[in-house]
């Protein structure tokens, strides 16, 4: 029996690392392309492009690490991770975010300044699988918030190997940020990754930290001085990759000053925001319909006039004060929340789709991967850099109309105002059928006949060409939402 078990494990490892071609392998259904690194467009810095000049609209999610199903079997965990990658890529996705500091990947988990080759090989394999699946990876370097459990009871956010009680050189977070020995720890890890991945085109960019302002203690002057220094140090080592920083959930008015200051730092190349549906949040926006939660976060960062792409980098639904995944996930089997997460940011002026959290407990558990395909289908063949979209949001009695008006194209995402997480998920009211509705082109800024009008129902995955009559579009019957593509 032991021999059989060992044989199965060997076969699994060979299968994983050889990448054999079967229905269950890691080969993407999304044809591989190699258009180069991702950069901010010089023509329209609100959007991204590949280094060959072709457009890049990031579509994906946070996929921080493998789940706990194979807690003691890294090869099986990597296989699971690869299958999630394939699910994203096979549905038109092109992006994931990984925490390199998560215990599964953490190269520095035993002694400060010492890096384990075994863990580095896991990262190597993850990037190989990402390349196979045609995904770009945002590499988040750190996430800890304290050096001891006494300072912070959240064990997942403690970096104990840095503390003097565990053989490290530091006695506090403040010392980590201000001392030469603390700064060398971060820079040393940068050097390790630079030697290993310095010119890797699979990497979307390097994020210094996950929600760094969640640290307790350091005053703003120390916090921002460290960030400016390390954004510079990271860019020196990875000149072809984007460099960025993230802050905690924008759920309290008190975080506005630190958000604005961080997003305006020139070395921080992307304006990122985190925001969740959270009934325990201080801000009322966090309790509104999911499309408003997402769009208001994007609009907040756009208002800072950073001249950078804006991304809703983390979002989802949580129990009050982030005490766990939302109970609404259990009933959201159609993915109403995920749909809004993907569509609302881009149609509000973001450079890409919103990036959901809860990849395993929500998206995988409810098998919602197809929603990435629906968003990708809606924006297929759109070049936002060339379009130079102008964002607006007119409304009717029952619809919020998210409008992107470009040089050649007008894109509309219509959202039924009567349907939201309260009505559908909390109260169990099915989405209403919208029948015989019209859209007046004059109210959208069109005063002449247009070349072509196509309507996409993302819930049915169906396109339909329609004709205008007296500068009006008669909409097909639909529920929840609809996409209209107008070629001028």
**Is 413 found in the same domain as 291?**
no
Q: Which residue is listed with tokens 């549905």? A: 91
**Is 425 found in the same domain as 299?**
no
The pLDDT of residue 4: 36
**Is 336 found in the same domain as 460?**
no
**Is 340 found in the same domain as 287?**
yes
The pLDDT of residue 8: 38
Q: What average pLDDT does the segment 230-246 reach?
A: 98
The pLDDT of residue 69: 81
Question: Residue 480 corresponds to which tokens in the numbers above?
Answer: 């929840």
Distances (CA, A) of 13 to 10, 63, 120, 243: 5, 22, 17, 34
Cβ-Cβ contacts under 8 Å for 242 (sequence gap 6 or more): 38, 39, 40, 204, 205, 206, 269, 270
The pLDDT of residue 67: 83
Give the whole-angstrom CA distance, residue 77 versus residue 82. Answer: 9
Percentage with pLDDT > 90 across the chain:
86
Q: Determine, yes or no, domain membership for 391.
A: no
Length of the chain in terms of residues written: 488
Contact (CB, 8 A) for 408 and 443: no
Contact (CB, 8 A) for 281 and 318: no
Q: Determine, yes or no, domain membership for 71.
A: yes
Contact (CB, 8 A) for 308 and 263: yes
Q: What average pLDDT does the segment 104-132 reach?
A: 97
Nearest to 317 by CA among 351, 265, 282, 281: 281
**Is 322 found in the same domain as 219?**
yes
pLDDT tens for 430-469 read 999 999 999 998 988 887 888 999 999 999 999 999 988 8
The pLDDT of residue 153: 85
Residue ending a domain, choose from 381, 412, 436: 381
Confidence label for 150 from pLDDT (cuts 50, 70 and 90): confident
Cβ-Cβ contacts under 8 Å for 72 (sequence gap 6 or more): none
**Is 182 found in the same domain as 327?**
yes
**Is 411 found in the same domain as 354?**
no
DSSP-assigned letters across all residues of 12-79? HHHHHHHT--STTSS--SS-------EEE-SS-TTSEEETTS-EE---EEE--S--STTTT-HHHHHH
**Is 413 found in the same domain as 268?**
no
Give the whole-angstrom CA distance, residue 424 versus residue 339. Answer: 14
Pick 345 or 67 by higher pLDDT: 345
Distances (CA, A) of 242 to 60, 140, 189, 239, 475: 17, 12, 17, 8, 41
Q: Determine, yes or no, domain membership for 393.
A: no
Q: Determine, yes or no, domain membership for 389.
A: no
Contact (CB, 8 A) for 384 and 55: yes
Give the whole-angstrom CA distance, residue 162 versus residue 114. Answer: 11
**Is 286 found in the same domain as 158?**
yes
Domain range enclosing 477: 399-487
Percentage with pLDDT > 70 across the chain:
93
pLDDT tens for 388-422 read 999 999 999 999 999 999 999 999 999 999 999 99
Phi, psi of 255 (to 5 degrees): -85, -5
Q: What average pLDDT does the segment 105-120 reach?
A: 97
Residue ending a domain, choose from 338, 355, 381: 381
CB atoms within 10 A of CB 486: 23
- Which of 115-119, 149-153, 178-182 is predicted with the least confidence, judged by mean pLDDT? 149-153
Contact (CB, 8 A) for 379 and 346: yes
Tell me: pLDDT of 24 over 60: no
Confidence label for 351 from pLDDT (cuts 50, 70 and 90): very high
pLDDT tens for 168-225 read 999 999 999 999 999 999 999 999 999 999 989 999 999 999 999 999 878 999 999 9
Tell me the three state secondary structure of residue 127. helix
Q: What average pLDDT does the segment 152-166 reach?
A: 94
Q: Determine, yes or no, domain membership for 355.
A: yes
The pLDDT of residue 1: 38
Question: Residue 448 corresponds to which tokens in the numbers above?
Answer: 């002449």
Pick 221 or 25 by higher pLDDT: 221
The pLDDT of residue 33: 56
DSSP-assigned letters across all residues of 85-104? HHHHHTTT--EEEEETTSTT
Tell me: pLDDT of 12 over 90: no
Q: What average pLDDT does the segment 227-247 reach?
A: 98
Give the whole-angstrom CA distance, residue 452 versus residue 441. Answer: 13
Identify the helix (H) or strand (E) that includes residue 387.
helix 384-387
Tell me: pLDDT of 45 over 60: yes
Tell me: pLDDT of 27 over 90: no
The pLDDT of residue 469: 83
Contact (CB, 8 A) for 63 and 98: yes
pLDDT tens for 466-484 read 988 888 999 999 999 999 9
Give the whole-angstrom CA distance, residue 354 versus residue 293. Answer: 11
Q: Which residue is listed with tokens 């009695």? A: 397
CB atoms within 10 A of CB 478: 20
The strands making up 48-50's β-sheet, listed across from edge to edge, are 38-40, 48-50, 55-56
Output the domain CATH number for residue 236.
Answer: 3.20.20.80
**Is 355 found in the same domain as 415?**
no
Give the whole-angstrom CA distance, residue 278 versus residue 293. Answer: 10
Q: Determine, yes or no, domain membership for 88.
A: yes
Question: Residue 436 corresponds to which tokens in the numbers above?
Answer: 């015989």
Give the whole-angstrom CA distance, residue 231 versus residue 266. Answer: 9
Query: Radius of gyration over alpha carbons of the chain, in Å?
Result: 23
The pLDDT of residue 68: 79
- Which of 28-37, 101-110, 357-366, 479-488 is predicted with the least confidence, judged by mean pLDDT? 28-37
Number of domains in the chain: 2
Q: Determine, yes or no, domain membership for 392.
A: no
Alpha-carbon torsion 275, 103, 243, 211, what sign?
positive
What is the residue-averaged pLDDT of the chain? 92
Give the whole-angstrom CA distance, residue 76 versus residue 63. Answer: 16
The pLDDT of residue 71: 76
Q: Determine, yes or no, domain membership for 1.
A: no
Chain-centre distance of CA 45, in angstroms?
A: 19
**Is 416 found in the same domain as 363?**
no
For residue 26, with 0-12 CB atoms within 10 Å meaning exposed, 13-18 middle and 19 or more buried, which class applies? buried
Tell me: pLDDT of 338 over 90: yes
Tell me: pLDDT of 22 over 60: no
**Is 425 found in the same domain as 364?**
no
Question: Residue 407 corresponds to which tokens in the numbers above?
Answer: 């040089």
Give the whole-angstrom CA distance, residue 385 versus residue 116. Answer: 42
Output the domain CATH number for residue 404.
Answer: 2.60.40.1180
Tell me: pLDDT of 19 over 70: no
Confidence label for 20 from pLDDT (cuts 50, 70 and 90): very low
Tell me: pLDDT of 146 over 60: yes
Give the whole-angstrom CA distance, residue 283 versus residue 275. Answer: 10
Residue ending a domain, choose from 332, 351, 381: 381
Pick 286 or 2 by higher pLDDT: 286
């Amino acid at each position: 029996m032991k021999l059989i078990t060992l044989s199965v494990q060997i076969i699994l490892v060979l299968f994983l690392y050889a990448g054999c071609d079967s229905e269950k392998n890691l080969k993407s259904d999304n044809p591989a392309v190699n258009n180069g690194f991702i950069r901010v467009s010089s023509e329209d810095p609100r959007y991204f492009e590949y280094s060959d000049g072709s457009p890049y609209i990031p579509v994906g999610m946070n996929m921080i690490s493998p789940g706990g199903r194979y807690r003691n079997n890294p090869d099986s965990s990597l296989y699971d991770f690869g299958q999630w990658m394939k699910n994203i890529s096979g549905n038109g996705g092109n992006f994931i975010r990984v925490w390199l500091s998560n215990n599964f990947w953490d190269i520095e988990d035993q002694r400060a300044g010492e890096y384990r080759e075994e863990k580095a090989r896991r990262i190597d394999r993850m990037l190989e699988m990402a390349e196979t699946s045609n995904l770009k990876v945002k590499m988040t370097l750190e996430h800890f918030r304290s050096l001891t459990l006494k300072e912070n009871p959240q064990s997942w956010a403690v970096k104990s190997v840095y503390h003097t009680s565990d053989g490290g050189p530091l006695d506090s977070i403040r010392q980590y940020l201000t001392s030469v020995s603390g700064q060398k720890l971060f820079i040393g890890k940068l050097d390790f990754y630079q030697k290993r991945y310095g010119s890797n085109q699979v990497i979307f960019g390097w994020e210094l930290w996950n929600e760094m302002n969640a640290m307790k203690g350091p005053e703003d002057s120390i916090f921002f001085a460290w960030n400016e220094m390390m954004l510079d140090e990271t860019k020196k080592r990875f000149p072809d990759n984007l460099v960025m920083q993230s802050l905690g959930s924008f759920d309290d008015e008190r975080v506005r000053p630190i958000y604005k200051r961080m997003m305006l730092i020139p070395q921080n190349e992307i304006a990122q925001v985190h925001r969740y549906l959270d009934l325990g949040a201080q801000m009322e926006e966090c309790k509104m319909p999911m499309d408003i939660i997402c769009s208001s976060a994007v609009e907040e960062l756009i208002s800072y006039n950073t001249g950078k792409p804006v991304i809703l980098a983390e979002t989802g639904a949580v129990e009050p004060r982030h005490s766990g995944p939302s109970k609404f996930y259990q009933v959201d089997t159609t993915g109403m929340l995920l749909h809004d997460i993907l569509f609302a940011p881009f149609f509000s002026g973001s450079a890409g789709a919103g990036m959901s959290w809860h990849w395993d407990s929500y998206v995988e558990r409810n098998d919602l991967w197809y929603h990435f395909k629906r968003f990708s289908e809606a924006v297929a063949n759109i070049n936002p850099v060339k379009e130079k979209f102008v964002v607006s949001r007119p409304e009717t009695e029952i619809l919020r109309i998210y409008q992107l008006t470009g040089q050649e194209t007008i894109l509309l995402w219509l959202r039924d105002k009567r349907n939201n997480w309260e009505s559908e998920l909390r109260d169990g009211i099915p989405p209403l059928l919208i029948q015989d509705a019209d859209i007046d082109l004059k109210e959208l800024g069109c005063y002449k006949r247009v070349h072509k009008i196509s309507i996409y129902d993302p819930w049915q995955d169906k396109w339909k060409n329609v004709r205008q009559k007296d500068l009006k579009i008669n909409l097909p019957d639909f529920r929840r939402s609809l996409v209209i593509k107008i070629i001028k």
